[in-house]
Amino acid sequence: MMMQNIYPSFYKNFKCIANLCEDSCCKDWDIDIDSCTENFYNTVQGSLGDKLHQKLVTDDDGERVFKVENGRCPFWNRDMLCDIFIGIGEEHLSETCAKFPRVKVDYSGFRENLLSFACPEAARLMLASDDSAYADFGSVEKNGADGEDYMSFLLKARSRTAAMLLDREVPFEYRLADCLEFNAQVQAILNGEEPAPLKAGVQNSCRFILDMHTEFEIMSERWREALKCILNNADALEVRPDFARDFEKFALYYIYRYYLEAVNSGDVLYSMKRIVCAYIVTGWLDADFARKGYPLPRMRILQRYSKEVEHSYENTEALNARFDSDPRFSIENLIAMLEDMV
């Protein structure tokens, strides 16, 4: 069967801006090196070859990587260009370097292609996109294969969730609350249960979400400082009214990137709860920067959240574990918290 490839409208407009990038994927992250690339690097001679052999190490998870040094890839030079690209050519970049920020997610019979919000240039494209950017997602034609009903159900539920997020007649916090309530019903159906009305929640403070983020693995000191600052000023902060206009693009990206994980996990609520956490943290960061008189571009706040939290396996696992164990993350309590913010 032919694999159907699906792209958002902005995908093909992406072009890496290299040394003009305000963050760079060569910053903060260890770089995974696949075995094919390692085999080639083992053949490289001269000073670049020596450095490649010396810097390629095995990390704690047994992966072969270039480890960051002072927050930078050891091959990212002072002109903010890549010495491997310059020395032996783009075709010899590792898979990770060559593909980022492009993300492919394969399902039975179709592949969804996305860009990562952790790349500033990709984030800019997503923030500038219109409501039809993901129009082709959900256009998958199913052909009666096993699991068709389950996938069709998830695709329909994802489209409905995305439509709820974009219903601008409704305040954004209510839209998020509606998405949670709707997906609680979806989850009941996935569990083989009868959807039941939700009880009233009792949570009215979102501070615990901010606290939790300070306990996470953090790459950059500036991110740690920014989180501390919003905690210190928590009582004076409110998400700014126009923040949702940008955040809804991040939320859409998140839904198209993660909702269908439920094919394997059987859970649609993890991705929804992670969106709520992202909204609280980035919304308050945006409010705090505005309060201090130097509003950071929202692109940078959302892009940094993606890099610090979304792209960290440890942090994503920590979030999901808290959703499982902490009653403050029940759907009822999150809805009560969101409604209290309006």
Shortest Å, Cβ 299 to ligand SF4:
12
Give the distance from CA 114 to its chain's centroid.
Answer: 11
Q: Closer CB to ligand SF4, residue 99 or residue 168?
A: 99
Shortest Å, Cβ 308 to ligand SF4:
14
- Rounded distance between C-alpha atoms, residue 215 and residue 315, angstroms: 10
Q: Closer CB to ligand SF4, residue 100 or residue 329?
A: 100
Residues that bind ligand SF4 in the complex, under the rule CB under 6 A: 16-18, 21, 23-25, 100-101, 119-121
Shortest Å, Cβ 22 to ligand SF4:
8
Q: Closer CB to ligand SF4, residue 118 or residue 162?
A: 118
- Rounded distance between C-alpha atoms, residue 156 and residue 153, angstroms: 5
Angle between helices 269-291 and 313-325 (to 10 degrees): 110
Q: Closer CB to ligand SF4, residue 15 or residue 45?
A: 15
Please return the burial class of 223, using the count of CB atoms within 10 Å of its CB with bins 0-12, 13-18 and 19+.
Answer: buried
Q: Closer CB to ligand SF4, residue 23 or residue 332?
A: 23
Q: Which residue has the tokens 């574990």?
A: 321
Q: Identify the CA nearest to 134 among candidates 263, 259, 256, 260.
A: 256
Residues 6+ apart with CB under 8 A from 107: 140, 151, 260, 263
DSSP 17-58: -GGG-SS-TTBSS-EE--HHHHHHHTT--HHHHHHHHHHEEE
Query: Which three-class secondary structure state does DSSP give residue 65?
Result: strand
Cβ atoms within 10 Å of 222's Cβ, excluding its own: 10
Q: Closer CB to ligand SF4, residue 118 or residue 212?
A: 118
Q: Identify the CA nearest to 104 among candidates 224, 226, 260.
A: 260
Shortest Å, Cβ 306 to ligand SF4:
11
Shortest Å, Cβ 77 to ligand SF4:
13
Q: Closer CB to ligand SF4, residue 24 or residue 271?
A: 24
Shortest Å, Cβ 342 to ligand SF4:
35
Shortest Å, Cβ 18 to ligand SF4:
6
Shortest Å, Cβ 25 to ligand SF4:
3
Residues 6+ apart with CB under 8 A from 328: 203, 208
Shortest Å, Cβ 121 to ligand SF4:
4
Q: Closer CB to ligand SF4, residue 273 or residue 304?
A: 304
- Rounded distance between C-alpha atoms, residue 254 and residue 277, angstroms: 12
- List the structure tokens of 287: 């409010």
Q: Closer CB to ligand SF4, residue 115 or residue 272?
A: 115
Query: Which three-class secondary structure state does DSSP give residue 137?
Result: coil
- Rounded distance between C-alpha atoms, residue 6 and residue 113, angstroms: 6
